[in-house]
Amino acid sequence: MQARFPDHRFLRRLWTAVRAERPALLRLALLALPMQASALALPLLTGLVADRVVPAGDRALLALVCAGVALVAVQRAALDALRAAVLRDLEARLKGAVLRDVFARLMAAPLSSLRGSTVGATSQALASAEHIAGLTARVVLVPALDALVALAAVAGLVCVQPAFAPGLALWTLAVATLSWPLARRHAALERVELEASARHRGRLYELLRGAPTLLSAGRGEAGLGRWRFAFTAHQGAALERLRAGLWLDLLFDGAHQAARVGVLAGGALLAADGRLSVGAVLSALLLVEALIPPTLAIVRTALVLLSSAPYMERVSAAVDGVVPDPEPVPVAPAVRRVATDHPAIAVRDAWYRYDPEAAWTIADQTLLVRCGEVARLDGPSGSGKTTLLRLIAGLARPERGSVSVLGMDARDGRRQVLYLPQSFQLFGGTIAESLALLSQADPARLSEAAERTGLAGWLRALPMGADTPLPPGAGTLSGGQRQLLALTAAVASNRPVVLLDETMANMDPALRDRLDGRGLFAGRTVVLVEHPSSLALPG
């Protein structure tokens, strides 16, 4: 399999995130300066002790030099610890910036592309983005700064014994040449592992979501077998990739040991011939020890860029080509109004389909809704009522025609609209937190809305009231309870346009009858899709 380099669009966004962390980068660069000095000081002090202090037998000078060596060693340890702390902070910031970018682009993606993506592929893209951010901090930026230390060690080595420099140059070239085919294989196996991981994540999500259906059909073992097969394939691919990585680690460790042996053997021969002192040999060995780790890190950085290509491909496949909308200027939704003689919602000659090869879901649709009006969308199942609500909510753009809300393009007017789809998601936390998340209303407004919808009576019957915890998805609530909670959030919201898609389909008739006639959305523009037997909300 041919290794491919990362997509430049994702790299540009990653570079933007890196540039935004200039203070942390500056701190790392400043830390590299004293580390350069210590990389030179320790070998030179060691050579001084071996060649001059020990033969002279000057105990006071020996104690002074040893104290200097200890001070340099303590300084180096402190600098390493400080750099590790700065690096952890930088890595966390980069991960946050990259994940925010990916989430923003996923949220701005066209509805058709979101429908076509799988949970496994999307979650793998997010994990890949986090992985790339960590690699950028740990394996790319740090070696780039360590190159300064390597240059200082090279300069010292040339000054102490230039005979070692050509050998080290050949050693670096040999390591890079031998590691290239191993890195290509590692990148190919990385891509296979990521594909297997996406399938495994998707199967796991299906198993968890579909467990009640599988158990009720007596097919629990079959569903478990599908996940087990994907899990086994993922683990096998991961093991193959780990084996390839072990060969790379073996190469680097062997190269490190070979450099040590080469310097010791060559230095011993030169010292035996009298062409090099013992102190110079020790200094050269310590300089090589300071030079080898950053040199190997630089080589590894080039290989990591190659092996990170599959991760970047995952992220690019999920988000490239999607440009998030600019953050709208905060405006209180209730302030936005249009003249009463102009429609609050205007759908004119709209055409939409979910796929270029599919039939039109919406064809030449026109809908005008005045301010404060309650409009009911009628029609059989599959006639495009839900799709029309999504166009009004700004979740999709028509291929032809136009959709406007309160005088704005529907995409620009999303902050003015509250849309409750047929299958809405309730999140983990308390009932009060779910209400606040859906409505963005303060507690007083939520309390008033709960009294109007009757939710308050149900909450008073609960031991913990609105502080009752809910699991993710609110599986402990019935369908009617979830819809009552969502309806209360819609009433509490101060958004002037409300879109309800069969919001009361699961409520019992008695509850719908009690809500009838209360004017829940008086003065607001409502587009309603309901079963014929459901509530027709008055304006």
Return the structure tokens found at 33: 């300066």
Instruction: Supply 382's token pair.
Output: 């599959």
* Contact between residue 173 and residue 295 where contact means Cβ atoms under 8 Å apart: no
Taking 70 as the pLDDT cut, the residues of the chain under it are: 1-10, 32-33, 35-59, 61-62, 64-66, 68-69, 72, 75, 108-121, 138-161, 163, 212, 216, 276, 278, 287, 290, 298, 302-307, 309, 317-342, 505-506, 508-518, 530-539
Q: How far apart, in whole angstroms, are the C-alpha atoms of residue 418 and residue 494?
A: 9
pLDDT value at residue 494:
83
SS (H, E, C) 257-268: HHHHHHHHHHHH
Please check whether residue 99 is in contact with residue 125, taking contact to mean a CB–CB distance below 8 angstroms.
no
CA dihedral for 35, 37, 38, 39, sign (positive or negative)? positive
The answer to whether residues 237 and 192 touch, using CB atoms and an 8 Å cutoff, is: yes
CB 317 within 8 A of CB 118: no
Condensed to tens digits (0 to 9), the pLDDT of residues 217-276 reads 777 788 788 888 888 998 998 899 888 888 888 888 888 788 777 777 777 777 777 776
* Calpha distance 465→73 (Å, rounded): 61
With a threshold of 0.75, does the pTM exceed it? no
Determine contact, residues 5/303, Cβ cutoff 8 Å: no
Pairing relation of β-strands 400-405 and 343-352? antiparallel
* Amino acid 44: pLDDT: 65
Q: Is 459 left (phi over 0), alpha (psi -120 to 50) or beta?
A: alpha
Fold exhibited by the domain 325-539: Rossmann fold (3.40.50)
Return d(Cα 75, Cα 34) in angstroms, integer: 9
Contact predicate 411/394, CB 8 Å: yes
CB 161 within 8 A of CB 276: yes
- Sign (positive/negative) of CA torsion 232, 238, 244, 247? negative
Q: Are 348 and 402 in contact (CB under 8 A)?
A: yes
Q: How far apart are CA 121 and CA 314, in angstroms?
A: 8
Strands 497-501 and 525-529: parallel
Q: Please name every residue paired with 403 in a beta bridge, in sequence order, or none if there are none.
A: 347
pLDDT reported for residue 335: 34
CATH number, domain 8-319: 1.20.1560.10
Q: Six-digit token pair at 186?
A: 């590692």
Strands 374-376 and 525-529: parallel
pLDDT of 326 reads: 45
What is the pLDDT, as a whole number, of residue 506? 67
Residue 1, SS3?
coil
Determine which helix (DSSP H) or strand (DSSP E) holds 198, and give its type and residue range.
helix 164-216
The confidence score (pLDDT) of residue 500 equals 85
Q: Name the residue type at position 279.
A: G
Cα 470 from Cα 429, distance rounded (Å): 5
Cα distances (Å, whole numbers) of residue 51 to 65, 273, 282, 283, 421: 12, 16, 10, 10, 82
- pLDDT in the model for residue 210: 75
What is the end-to-end Cα distance of the chain in Å, rounded?
Answer: 63
Q: Is the four-CA dihedral 78, 82, 83, 88 of positive or negative sign?
A: positive
pLDDT tens per residue across span 81-92: 777 787 788 888
Strand segments, DSSP code E, in 353-480 are 362-370, 374-376, 400-405, 408-409, 417-420, 429-430, 469-470
- CA angle 262/265/270 to nearest 5° reads 120
Write the CB contacts of 536 (distance below 8 Å, at least 6 apart in sequence).
374, 376, 516, 528, 530
Alpha helices in 8-58 (DSSP H): 8-19, 22-48, 54-56
Q: How far is 325 from 336, CA to CA, in rounded Å?
A: 20
Both tokens assigned to 179: 């590691």
**Delimiting residues of CATH 3.40.50.300 domain(s) in the chain:** 325-539
Portions of the chain given CATH number 1.20.1560.10: 8-319
